[in-house]
Homo-oligomer: A and B are copies of this chain.
Amino acid sequence: MTSRDQAAVTLAQVAEAAGVGESTVSRVLRNHGSYSGKTRDRVMTAVERLGYVPNRIAGTLASAGSRLVAFVIPSLSNIVFADVLRGAGATLEENQYQAVFAVTDYDPAREEALVASMLAWRPAAVMLAGYEHTERTINMLRAANCRVVEMLDVDGTALDLAVGFSNRAAGRASAEFLLKRGYRRIGYVGHDLDRDTRAAKRYSSFCETLSANDVPLADREIYREASSVERGRLGLDSLLARTSDLDAVYFSNDDMALGGYFHCLARGIVIPSQLAIFGYNGLDLGRVMPQALSTIRTPRVATGQMAAKLIMDNAPSQVIDLGFELIEGATA
């Protein structure tokens, strides 16, 4: 029943039907410039009757500035980026902007290709995760006539705008917290550090802080795959099999930590007296666990909101650190 290949109604047809000029229809529809009430009614009636849907492709081409915002994000499975998108979504929509997105799977080469493909849509802005990009990606973005927002990190040099928080500071805060609580045999279970450079920053900062306090990291289990609850559980299992006297484990994120928590439950390991668990992200579910998860809550939605707001406001280049919050919880 869907009617394909029928020519869509054009603005010219609406103008014809309403007995006015094309530019008048355009003005009425965009509520831009002046027109009389009577004209507006005639135009709107014609629009209604013909079922006219403006063609933004044409509109964008004619008016230069596009209202597309391109998101090039590492993953959709990771709730972090879904939250960022959610935060940005509302603001963009209010301003009649449209979000376009592509997923890099944490691969810089794919990011490069996707940025190139995104720029072909002449977006008003490109939103990326973090500061680590290939040289060509950076060159393309510099050459492009659009804003760039690097999100979820502030440790480095921004191309244009940056919104997020310090992953290094997060790693340090986590280490300091565990040290303050008296843990001395600390392990780490994490996912692919090569690709997730923000996780790598947290990890290295965590280790440095421990070392600076003469408590070197006791052991670690790092998977090359993406993070998951399952990896967290397997990782803790392997880690403890090798180094059984750990008193605390730092996970690369809450998903991994939940896996570790499940492992402890299954093996009867008492938390936190036998083993402390510390995560990262501050997912909602951490609050609801039988023992609230000790973790760091990151401003994911706020990052998206701020990123969108900066673009809408055409703010000057700057770096905005939204900080994070350490949640003491009951698992560490």
Contacts and interface: CB of A to CB of B under 8 A. Distances in A.
A93 B98 contact: no
Which of A53, A101, A139, A143: most chain B Cβ within 10 A?
Answer: A53
A230 B284 contact: yes
A241 interface: no
A262 B284 CA distance: 13
Given A83-B77, A290-B262, A117 B145 contact: no
A277 interface: no
A262 B265 CA distance: 11
Q: In the assembly, how many copies of this chain are there?
A: 2
Given A8-B122, A93-B102, A143-B51, A229 B1 contact: no
Contacts of A159: 1-2
Nearest to A85: B76
Contacts of A229: 284-285, 288
Contact of A77 (B82, B230, B265, B266): B82
A20 interface: no
Nearest to A143: B51
Contacts of A258: 285
B228 A284 contact: yes
Interface of A: 1-8, 51, 53-58, 60-61, 66, 76-77, 79, 82-83, 85-86, 89, 93, 96, 98-103, 114, 116-117, 119-122, 139-148, 159-160, 228-230, 233, 255, 258-259, 262, 265-266, 284-285, 287-290, 317
